[in-house]
Chain A
Amino acid sequence: MSGFSAFLAKELQEIRKTWRIWVVPGMVLFFAVSSPIIAYLTPRLIASMAESQPGVTVILPPPTWTDAYGQFLKNLQQVVLIAVVITGAGAISGERAAGTAVLTLTKPLARGAFVLAKIISQSLLLIACAALGAAVCAVVTRVIFGPAPISPLLNAVLLWLAYALLLVTVMTFFSAWFAARGAAAGLGLAFFFVSLLIGIWAPAVRYTFIGLLPAVAKAIAGQPVTTLWPLATAVAMIVVSAAAAVKVFERQEL
């Protein structure tokens, strides 16, 4: 077993054996179950509140599977992506602060392999979370709302996943760049919120990875989505961020 595969195996085992298993996977699973339930209950709650107000009539359309999927993706886009930023901030800076990077990197493991193993392990975790979350959400939605098409959910989750994988790589770069986890997290949050803000500018949405998140809502609604440019630029951004993370980390003193 080479140093790379030994370190990757350690990373995956660490996810399973530490608090990391409860953060992103726990959140995704929670939202996969709770989102369809909330979508089902929300109109009833609003109607019951309106009934207590004399003279107020609220007419809401009955909830459907679209609301369930929409609620799930909204949670993924907001809460889970912020969790991805926070946990990703410590990917490399955490090992540096704990001194574990020193013991590992004085063994036959190149710094580039160290960084790539970090990106791959976090990406595998996100892919597993997205697959599990989508499956659970589909099942709970079907139980509550009856038969519902799977493809809008899958398309939307895949678009979300593309953005989340980009965020993982960008966070690994920030974590390699800054020794302090807080600095990496701050910059990551700034990157996330600025990319949300830029989402109101049409050319950025059409031609860059910024367009991935607005496309999620369209995919759920079954509207046609053209994601060639957003996906292509996301892949380019992932490659550039990974290369930059390796380069920055190779030049740093531990």
Chain B
Amino acid sequence: MTDGSAIEIVGLEKRFGSTKALDGINLAVPAGQVFGFLGPNGAGKTTTLRILTGLAFASGGSARILGQDVTAAGNQLRSQIGYLPDVPGFYGWMTAPQFLHYVGRLFGLPRETITERTNALLDMAGLTSVRTAIGGFSRGMKQRLGIAQALMNAPRLLLLDEPTSALDPIGRREVLDMIVSLRGRTTVFFSTHILADVERVCDSVAILHRGQVVADATIAELKRRMAVDRLTIEVEGDAELLSADLSGQPWVRSIERAGSRVTLAVTDAALAQREVPAAVVRAGLGLRRFESGEVSLEDVFVDLVGPNER
């Protein structure tokens, strides 16, 4: 492990026939951080996680977790990792406590530790009073049990693939709170396309698009790098005239127009606040609304991967 990186990915490639699912991605995830792995559907997030867990094999490049090459990963490395796949599969005939006991035995934990952790994790997952077999669980219950089993070995690295996608708002909040509580003790690497989750709990984020990492930074740095501010202007008259006037300005990063509203991403907010009203006057329009605010992660995401990708 170099410089405290829990995950190091260098030039990772994955090809399915002629299709490149991963096109040479590079990534370093610092130990102890909550790291969001963002990307639209089909970007390559699950493929990356499957390679990291040894379920799939890379076509090129290398990946190391906790200092060890994943291609040579043995039981010793797997005993330090927790993993939740996007759709976890359970033995339907087992109950939740039976499954957690089974997982504890796979990790070779002492009986007392298994019992203690099973009780604590069932409590965390809200499954303590559930007596039915897992076959009768809802998707949300399975997802919560999936997170519980990923924590059974108190892992140094927790890999979560879309952990909140099947949860209701309360379940989602509980999972995110649980992820936050692990910060500093466990490195959490989770893939998602829910931007609000990333913005809420992550220290850093990487954005994957068409098999390539298009951004990798802290959320604050990413916003700073992408644009300083976002301005919303609503005019009386033809907003197209304003768009045309502003489109050539060097401090304008992007322009979106919807009816009488124009939204600008700008690199110099102070200059924009002086120039935009002047441009409205030049175009012969009336100014109805003029608001400024920080860009959201969603703005950054859309800027990077395009508005039509989800």
Chain A residues within CB distance 8 Å of chain B = 1-3, 5-7, 9-10, 14, 17-18, 98-110, 253-254
Contact = CB atoms under 8 A, between A and B. Distances in A.
Contacts of B108: 1-3, 6, 108
Contacts of A106: 53-55, 78, 81, 83
Contact of A3 (B75, B81, B88, B91): B75
* Chain B interface SS verdict (over half): loop
B85 A103 contact: yes
Interface in B61-88: 74-76, 78-79, 81, 83, 85, 87-88
B103 interface: yes
B302 interface: no
12 contacts: A14-B91, A17-B93, A102-B88, A103-B90, A106-B81, A107-B78, A107-B79, A108-B79, A108-B106, A109-B78, A110-B74, A254-B50
* Cβ-closest 10 pairs across A and B: A99-B89, A6-B105, A108-B75, A107-B106, A106-B83, A253-B56, A254-B55, A100-B89, A108-B79, A98-B89
Interface in B108-135: 108
Interface residues of B, number: 29
A206 to B, nearest CB: 44
Contacts, number: 76
Given A5-B105, A108-B107, 19 more contacts: A6-B105, A6-B108, A10-B102, A14-B91, A14-B93, A18-B93, A102-B55, A102-B89, A103-B85, A103-B90, A106-B54, A106-B78, A107-B78, A108-B75, A108-B76, A109-B78, A109-B106, A110-B74, A110-B75
Contacts of B93: 14, 17-18
Given A99-B87, A99-B88, A100-B91, A6 B74 contact: no
A104 B89 CA distance: 10
Nearest to B76: A108
